Each structure stands twice: as C-alpha cells, then as structure tokens.
Structure 1
Amino acid sequence: MNGAEKAVPKNFRTKVLLLLSSGHLVTDLASGGLPVLLPIIQASLNLSYSAAGVISLVFNVSSSVIQPLLGYLSDRVKSRWLLPVGCILSTAGLALAGVISGYWLILAAVLLSGLGSAAYHPEASKVSRLASGSRPATGLSIFMIGGALGAALGSLIMAQIVVHIGGHASFYFIFPGLLMGILFFIFRDKLPDEPRTIIKGTEAITTHVPKQVMFSLSVLLLVVIFRSWIQSGLTHFMPMYFVNYLGKSPSYAGSLLVAFMLAGAIGTIFGGPLADRLGRKTTLVGSTALLIPLLLLFKFSDGLWSLIILFIIGMVMVSTMATTVVMGQELLPHRVGVASGLMTGFAIGMGGVGVTLLGVIADNFGAPAAVWTITLLPVVTFLLSLLLPKDNLKGA
C-alpha cells in the first residue's frame, strides 16, 4: 500500500459529502445563471458575439487558472477557509452582474464570481476524496451532483427572474452564498483532516514526475479541455444562438439549459459508481464515443426532439466529470489538491476559451459554422481518450 492510499480513510462519510455537495450547488449557481443572463447583457449593451464571448472567457479563465495554485496551497497548508469564501464570492459576483451597468464593470463582477469558484473547487474536491474512503468515484459523484444541480437551478431561477422581474433581480443570488458560508463556519470541525505535515523536499511531495505520467496527465487535460469546449458551447453559445439568431425566446433557451444541466445531475449519479465498477478509462471512452452521434442528431433536430436529445447529451457528458477528477488524483496521488485544481479548474475552465473562439467563428463565418464546430469536437475528444492509460497506472 502506497502513501497516498494510507492517507485516504476507508470510511464513507455521507454527511460531509452532502455538505460539500450543497456548497458545490451554491457555488455553481453562477455557472448556470450567467449563460441565461448573457443574452440580456448582450442585447442591452449591443455587444457582438465576440464581446459577449469575452464575458464567458473572463468567468471561465478566472475560475480556472488560479485553481492549481490554490490546490498547491491546499496540499501544503490546511485551507478550509476557502470553502465559505468561495461560496460567498461566487454568488456575489453573479448578483452584481445583473445589477450594474457598463461593460467593464460587468467584467469585474464576473471576474469576482470566477475567483469565488476557483477558491471553492480544489479544496472541496480534496476534502470530498478524504470523505469518500475506498469509493473515490462514487464520493466525487455525490460532490459533483451538487454542482450539476446548482448549474441547473441557476439557469431555471435566472430564466424566471429575467422574464418576470428583470436582470437586476440577480442580486438575490447573494443570499444562498451567505447562508452556505455560515453553514461551513458552524460545521468546520466536522470536515475530515488528512494525516499530513508540511514537508519540504521529502518523499511526500516529489519534484520528479515520470514521463509516462506527464504524458497521460497531458492527454487527460486535453480530453477535459475539449469536453469543456463542447459543454461551454452548449451552455454559453447556444442560448445566444437560439435567442439572437433563431429568434427564440429567452425562456425557451433557458428550458434547454435546464434540461441539459438537470440531465447532467442525473448522469453524475450513475457515472461515478459505473466508473468504480467498469473502470475509469472504459467509462470515459464510451461516453465520448456516444457524444459523436448524439450531437449530430441534436444539430438536425427541432422542438421536443431537441430537448430530449440535449437531455441525453447532458447525462452522457457530465457523467464523466467525477471520473476525470479521480483519474487526475490517481495520476498525482501526493498532489491531490493540484490534481483537483487542474481537473476541476484549469481544464474545465478552458471551456471559456472555446466559447470565445466560437464567437469569433460566428462573427466571421456565421453562427451555423460555430454550431458545426461544437458538433464535430467530440471526434477529437474520442481519439484523445483512446490514448489514456489503464486505471492501474500510478503517478508521482
């Protein structure tokens, strides 16, 4: 048994996982609410697709680039304070985005929300693994369910308040963040501690990572990045495409988003246990293969069929999020915080870059060309997933 395995307790702490999942729900309200708010911001400020895409880029990059750094801090020093701070900042930024006016001020609010997300995810992912015992994918799935539900609720609530009240009602999103911050403070002593010391230059945190592990980690990052481009394209670009190009109502676009994100929550429930049973790579390769025909069907569907197919896409795509986090943690067992930051932050957050590129494609070649780009990306993702190692590869 290696050191990483000794550091993970064997008992499965359901209550802790539910608390962390609840925090994930609150934190990810912004990831669901912002795409619904974005067409309103685009129309009110008369923004191009590229300028609107920059708003998504700021959110995704700010919520991603800093995550590995915070994960490194988590590996070295106990950082449970990041949990309440992340919840509060994420919801505060979303609350301000619909209230303030001016492009640069909105970018600042979105930046704040992204930084809150960056603060929460690495630490929460690490504590979730500690609370998962010998069933890491199942435990991470419970944690991920909260995020998927939060994104879905964020879309649903934002769609309703935009239609019935107006974008300024986004201010109410700050209250769940404040409540979650209080709960984390109350139950701070219930969170599990890993048996660690702050070590410099010892075996616990090595400076050398084998070339095979680096290659596998790079491939895994690319798989998650391309999957995130697809997912961000569906959640951030497609609402603008349906509202501003096809002339659909914001409530219709919101219903598609809600279907996609609720489906993701359902997929997450089954994805973790399936990966624990069938293997991480098998589950990931199979899901990426299924996305190829599903997105082609979605491209040529309409009405109720679009809703049904997008629901299935959400189940298949989001079901592997916990799996890829566990794969990253297994490749870097002594750097769980860094691995979590890379998977939940850097790689997933790079989806914002994809949305910006889709905006450029739409501005120069038309919105349908951007939709075709989203449709064909799963082919690249599937080919990359075949290069991933078997589940028994050990890292540094």
Structure 2
Amino acid sequence: MNRIPMLAAGHATVDFYQGAVPALVPFLVAERGYGYVAVSGVVLAATLLSSIVQPLFGVLTDRWRMPWLIPMSMVVAGAGVALGGVTDSYALVWLAMAVSGMGVAAYHPESARLARIASRGSHVRMSWFSMGGTLGFATAPVLVTPLLSVWGLAASPLLALPAVLGAVVTLPAVLALAGGGPAAKAAGPPPGRDDWPSFARLTLVIVFRSVVYVGLSTFVALYMGGGAAGAVALFVLFAGGAAGTVLGGRLATRWGRVRTMRLAYAAAVLAVAGVVLAPGATAYVFVAASSMALYVPFSLHVTLGQDFLPTRVGTASGVTLGLAVSVGGLTSPLVGAVAEATTLRAALACLVVFPVLAWLLARTLKEPAAVEAA
C-alpha cells in the first residue's frame, strides 16, 4: 500500500503551523497592542529556532529510530500555536511559539526518512510528500484569518484540531513503515561513503534558492500594489510552488535530478527578471513561473542530500528541509533596506543574482551513484 498520501497529509499538517504563526501577527497587533519588534520576535521564535534545531533532530534520528516523533511533533506544533493565542504574557506567547517551532523541527528529519522508505526511490512520490508541506503552509492564512476575524484570539485553541487529525491520519503509515515490514526494508540508504563536499555545495544552492523565494514571498504583494492585487500575487506564488514540486518529480524521473535542478535554476533567472521587468498584470505570469522554477528542485534537494550523505539521512534531511531553507529569512531585512534606500523594484532586481549563483553551483554537482527509480 502506498503510504505517501498519509505522510503528505502529515507534512501538510505540521507545515500548516509554520504558516499559522505569521497569520497570527495582525491579531497580536490588534488585540494585544504588540509593536513591530514584538511580533517580529514572535515569528523569529517559531522560525529561526526551528531551523537551527532541525539538524540536531536529524543527528538524533541518525543514531536512533524515533518514529514516535512524527505524531508527537504534530501535537506539539499545534499546542504551541493554540496556547500562544490565549496567554496574555508576551514571554509566554514567545515561549509557546518557540515550542511550536520545536515541534515542526522534530517532525521533518524522521518523516523524510520514512518518506524515502515509502517512496521506494520514486522522485514522483517524494515530490508528493514535499508538496504536502507546501500546501499546508499556503492554506494556513486561508483558515486562520477567517477563524480569528470572527472570534478573535480566544478561538486559538481550535487551531490544535488539525494537529490531532493529522496525527491520527499519519499514525497507520508510521506504524507500518517503522515496523520493519517489506516496505520498511525496500528502500534503505544507498551504499557508499558520505560526500560532504557535494553536500556542502548542495546546501549553498538551497540557501541561494531560499534567499530568492523568501524575498519574493515577503515583498511581492507590496510590489504588485497590495490589497487584492497583492493577495492574488501571493496566491499565484503559492499555487505555482505546489505545481512546481510535483513537476520536479516527473522531470527528474525523465532527466535525472541534477540536470532538472540546473534547468530549473536557469529558468528561475529569466522568471525572476520577468517579475521586475514585465509591465502590469503580465508580472503575475512571471510570479507563477518564478515559483514553479524555484520549487521544481525542492523535493530533489532532499533526496540528493540523502544520497550525498547515505549514512546520515536524518542529518541531510534536517539541513535540506530546515536550516538551509530558512536562512533566506535572515536576508529579508537586507532586501527591505535596499528597497528603502532605492526602490522596491531595484531591491527585487537584486534577487536575480541568486538563481544565477544557484545555477553555477548546481553545474558542479554530479548525480550520486544511487540507482534512479521512477
């Protein structure tokens, strides 16, 4: 039985809480009177701490198999967000969001290991697992904003329900894959030594990709005019990412992961430039193209990292899904500073450099010796 849909549902659940924290910000400002620095601290507690801790969980899962982390991490992520909305103390809000981020961090390395087993080497199946996270993050504002708009932060405990549901849905797959049955034995790590130089270059590729995507997701709504036009731009950005993730798995099956990654970043150079240069509504087309190009290699990064470090699959998953992906968030203030000093268009134009760097580094990578599978 294909366990990937259940694992993808779990991935959507836990990444829902990554998207839920920023969605809480307007309500923390309106109901609690938090300033920009305060709410930035709340978001930082959830995202940066999660990114830093995620590789540590990867190291732990390389040493010990901990499938119980998957349902538990969902519940922890949901409980943190739920409690953060109902406490009056800023310190407790900060702590609750940090706990939620820890739950997100605990989930990814072990789930990526089980997804690798369940996918049996299929890039298409792995792309569906990755797309679950993309959809979860994208749907968070759609669900959180209407709920809290009607009932306010007092309704935050209701946000724990997706965590419980996700844990229940995912548990059968976790038990089956962790139980040592045929599916669990079919797709162990490929034989060979860890290739740290290639993994380091891949990590830099992911960092460059993160800078571009986080920069676009932070400022594209403002660039397109804000309001409804900005909301449409964000929807297009998120939808393009979901489509690109699935497309990446299919292209990798035909062309190989490294070649697909190179082509995607070459396309991203033109697409991001188009966002800046295209007039009027035409820019929406390039927003979608940018998102698709940047997400085509998303799931491929994970499996490439695992194959570059075949004896440290958890560590590879923690870095490729966590630390390297979130580093781009640290550069957003720099993009904002350039925008204030010049124009937002000039700031977004600077982002074109990063897919160029990703493409150049990707050209130095070779396909690992692991056997390709459809």
TM-score (norm 2): 0.83
Residue 351 of structure 2 aligns to a residue whose secondary structure is helix
Structure 1 pair 280–314 and aligned structure 2 pair: CA distance change class (3 A): same
Q: Find the counterpart in structure 1 of residue 365 from structure 2.
A: 388
Q: Find the counterpart in structure 2 of residue 234 from structure 1.
A: 216
Residue 36 of structure 2 aligns to a residue whose secondary structure is coil
Q: Find the counterpart in structure 2 of residue 328 from structure 1.
A: 305
RMSD: 3.3
Structure 1 pair 308–131 and aligned structure 2 pair: CA distance change class (3 A): same
Counterpart of 2:77, as a letter, is S
In the TM superposition, what whole-angstrom CA distance separates every residue of 1:156-181 from its partner, at most 9, and x where no partner exists? Answer: 22344466665665543211002222
In the TM superposition, what whole-angstrom CA distance separates every residue of 1:103-128 from its partner, at most 9, and x where no partner exists? Answer: 65443333222211111111110001
Q: Is 1:285 aligned with 2:271?
A: no
Q: Find the counterpart in structure 2 of residue 108 from structure 1.
A: 95
* Contact 2:21 2:46 (C-alpha < 8 Å) held by counterparts: no
Structure 1 pair 205–260 and aligned structure 2 pair: CA distance change class (3 A): closer
Q: How does 1:58-77 map to 2 (within 5 A)?
A: 58-77=45-64
* Contact 2:223 2:345 (C-alpha < 8 Å) held by counterparts: no
Counterpart of 2:36, as a letter, is L
Determine the C-alpha separation between the residues in 2 that align with 1:282 and 1:187. Answer: 32
Q: How does 1:122-141 map to 2 (within 5 A)?
A: 122-135=109-122, 137-141=123-127
Determine the C-alpha separation between the residues in 1 that align with 2:231 and 2:22. Answer: 9
2:201 to 219, 225, 231: 219
Counterpart of 1:27, as a letter, is V
Structure 1 pair 304–169 and aligned structure 2 pair: CA distance change class (3 A): farther
* Contact 1:130 1:192 (C-alpha < 8 Å) held by counterparts: no
Q: Find the counterpart in structure 1 of residue 77 from structure 2.
A: 90
Q: Find the counterpart in structure 1 of residue 133 from structure 2.
A: 147
Higher mean Cα deviation, 137-146 or 306-315? Answer: 306-315
Residue 134 of structure 1 and its aligned partner are, at CA, apart by 3.6
Q: Find the counterpart in structure 1 of residue 185 from structure 2.
A: none
Residue 320 of structure 1 and its aligned partner are, at CA, apart by 1.1
Residue 325 of structure 1 and its aligned partner are, at CA, apart by 0.5
Residue 40 of structure 1 and its aligned partner are, at CA, apart by 5.7
Residue 284 of structure 1 and its aligned partner are, at CA, apart by 0.6
Counterpart of 2:303, as a letter, is V
Determine the C-alpha separation between the residues in 2 that align with 1:384 and 1:161. Answer: 44
Residue 149 of structure 1 and its aligned partner are, at CA, apart by 1.3
Structure 1 pair 257–271 and aligned structure 2 pair: CA distance change class (3 A): same
Residue 353 of structure 1 and its aligned partner are, at CA, apart by 1.8
Determine the C-alpha separation between the residues in 2 that align with 1:378 and 1:104. Answer: 39
* Contact 1:159 1:254 (C-alpha < 8 Å) held by counterparts: no
Residue 66 of structure 1 aligns to a residue whose secondary structure is helix
Structure 1 pair 165–285 and aligned structure 2 pair: CA distance change class (3 A): farther
Residue 215 of structure 2 aligns to a residue whose secondary structure is helix
Residue 235 of structure 1 and its aligned partner are, at CA, apart by 2.6
Residue 96 of structure 1 and its aligned partner are, at CA, apart by 4.4
Q: Find the counterpart in structure 2 of residue 179 from structure 1.
A: 165
Counterpart of 1:67, as a letter, is Q
Determine the C-alpha separation between the residues in 2 that align with 1:168 and 1:364. Answer: 40
Structure 1 pair 227–96 and aligned structure 2 pair: CA distance change class (3 A): farther
Determine the C-alpha separation between the residues in 1 that align with 2:218 and 2:256. Answer: 31
Residue 194 of structure 1 and its aligned partner are, at CA, apart by 5.7
Q: Is 1:377 aligned with 2:359?
A: no
Structure 1 pair 228–56 and aligned structure 2 pair: CA distance change class (3 A): farther
Higher mean Cα deviation, 362-371 or 321-330? Answer: 362-371
Structure 1 pair 372–177 and aligned structure 2 pair: CA distance change class (3 A): same
User: Percent sequence identity over matched residues?
Assistant: 30
Residue 45 of structure 1 aligns to a residue whose secondary structure is coil
5+ long unaligned stretches in structure 2:
182-188
Determine the C-alpha separation between the residues in 1 that align with 2:337 and 2:90. Answer: 18
Q: Find the counterpart in structure 1 of residue 36 from structure 2.
A: 47
Residue 387 of structure 1 aligns to a residue whose secondary structure is coil
1:25 to 7, 12, 18: 12
1:190 to 176, 183, 188: 176
Determine the C-alpha separation between the residues in 1 that align with 2:166 and 2:361. Answer: 38
Structure 1 pair 187–286 and aligned structure 2 pair: CA distance change class (3 A): closer
Determine the C-alpha separation between the residues in 2 that align with 1:80 and 1:281. Answer: 30
In the TM superposition, what whole-angstrom CA distance separates every residue of 1:232-286 from its partner, at most 9, and x where no partner exists? Answer: 22234545x469xx5x23x554443232222212211121121122011111111
1:274 to 245, 248, 251: 251
Residue 119 of structure 2 aligns to a residue whose secondary structure is coil
Whose relative contact order is higher, 1 or 2, with alpha carbons under 8 Å and at least 6 apart?
A: 1
Q: How does 1:311-350 map to 2 (within 5 A)?
A: 311-350=288-327
Residue 65 of structure 2 aligns to a residue whose secondary structure is coil
* Contact 2:13 2:163 (C-alpha < 8 Å) held by counterparts: yes
Residue 328 of structure 1 and its aligned partner are, at CA, apart by 0.5
* Contact 1:70 1:122 (C-alpha < 8 Å) held by counterparts: yes
In the TM superposition, what whole-angstrom CA distance separates every residue of 1:3-24 from its partner, at most 9, and x where no partner exists? Answer: xxxxxxxxxx52x111110000
* Contact 1:53 1:359 (C-alpha < 8 Å) held by counterparts: no
Determine the C-alpha separation between the residues in 2 that align with 1:99 and 1:374. Answer: 38
Counterpart of 2:245, as a letter, is T
Determine the C-alpha separation between the residues in 2 that align with 1:42 and 1:383. Answer: 43
Residue 320 of structure 2 aligns to a residue whose secondary structure is helix
Residue 187 of structure 1 and its aligned partner are, at CA, apart by 5.4
